[in-house]
Structure 1
Amino acid sequence: MRVISKKRPPFMTPHRWIFLIAAGILLSATGFGVYFREIQMPRWTAASDAEAKAIEAAGLENVDNVYNHVWHKESWIVEGSDLDGNKVFVWLTGDNESHAVKAEYGVSFKQIKNTFLVEKPDAAIKRIQPGMFDGKPVWEVFYSIGQSPERYYYEFYMFDSGTFIDMYQLPAKTEP
């Protein structure tokens, strides 16, 4: 005679699948977070060091922005306000030199942008930031002009007067 047996329930029930998928997603997100933190930690550390040096060098009360600029050599530019409420830019170079300039003694971001767009209305601005060019504080404008292929340019303007210094064109294609 035949024995009728009950079928055993499956090991992977819907609840176990949900738990396994959720654990996999959580493990992947944690791994990505740790990886991202490891990659970004040197930059974050350098930015916080630059911020601390600028606060000490120029007596800043608070910091609004920290810029990293690399052209001839790496420099950090910290934008903030001092104890009197004046907006100040502090340039820090790799050889522990600092140079602070009150924003009122320089050309503003908006003035540089407006001047640039009047000269080149067909340009698409990618970034405008303060920088250091030949040891002098400057505004760097990185932009493209929509040709085929698209061309990218850097232009530098004096921070204090807004006068044009130099322009560099990046090659459209690079060959190996």
Structure 2
Amino acid sequence: MIIERKNKFKLTWLIWFIVLCCVLIIGILIYSVYLYYSILNNKETGLQKSEQIILEQTKLISVDKVERFHGDTSYHVITGRAKDGDTYFAFLPITNNHKKQKITLINHANIISQSQIKDHWLKSCQTCHFIRISPGLIDDQPVWEITYKDQSLRYVFDYLSMYDGKSIEQFRFKRFSEK
């Protein structure tokens, strides 16, 4: 009789423990999904507002693409067209205040194209693995941000001037473990 009670008691606690673990795992999964969508929503916050500001405060009449750039200052980088048909980059600082912000406009006709920079980079770093190239602004100077892995498998951010292709800045991240 006493052995039966002990077994029943152990079985009851085992069931409660399993139920508690299941509830905890489900709660963690629900929170993870919520956190993922919250971060994704935050990443896209303000893109439409930036498009509207650019169309109102610059000579651009259409927007082709909106990207983000994170340097010392974060920017929305809007690629758009003006009435004359020229294509421009518009760099709008990402801020929480709604004051008139300094917008930097760069005409594509005055810079080295993305494909030219990439071709030049491919010739100079043949053993590297290209990841992406995107426009940026560092110290009010327009740059191409080239992201790649070098021959030592370091993750590299290389910033080249849009005007002459000269290196402005470079960050290399060393790997601590080999995979």
TM-score (norm 1): 0.71
Runs of 4+ in 1 over 6 A off after TM superposition: none
Where in structure 2 are there 5+ consecutive unaligned residues?
1-29, 96-100
User: Residue 116 of structure 1 corresponds to which residue in structure 2?
Assistant: 121
**Which of 144, 154, 159 does residue 156 from structure 1 map onto?**
159
1:144 and 2:153 correspond: no
2:44 alignment partner AA: W
Q: State percent identity of aligned pairs.
A: 24
How far apart, CA to CA, are the structure 1 residues paired with 2:111 and 2:120? 14
The alpha-carbon distance between structure 1 residues 155 and 39, as it changes in their structure 2 partners (threshold 3 A), is closer
Report the number of matched residues.
141
**Which of 160, 167, 170 does residue 170 from structure 2 map onto?**
167
1:84 alignment partner AA: D
- How much has 1:120 moved relative to structure 2? 0.7
Where in structure 1 are there 5+ consecutive unaligned residues?
1-30
RMSD: 2.3
Q: Deviations over 1:104-148 (max 9, x none)?
A: 01111101101111111111111100011123211100100254x
User: Residue 19 of structure 1 corresponds to which residue in structure 2?
Assistant: none
How far apart, CA to CA, are the structure 2 residues paired with 1:72 and 1:173? 26
- How much has 1:38 moved relative to structure 2? 4.4
TM-score (norm 2): 0.70
**Which of 88, 97, 106 does residue 102 from structure 2 map onto?**
97
How far apart, CA to CA, are the structure 2 residues paired with 1:68 and 1:128? 12
User: Residue 83 of structure 2 corresponds to which residue in structure 1?
Assistant: 83
**Helix, strand or coil: the match of 1:138?**
strand
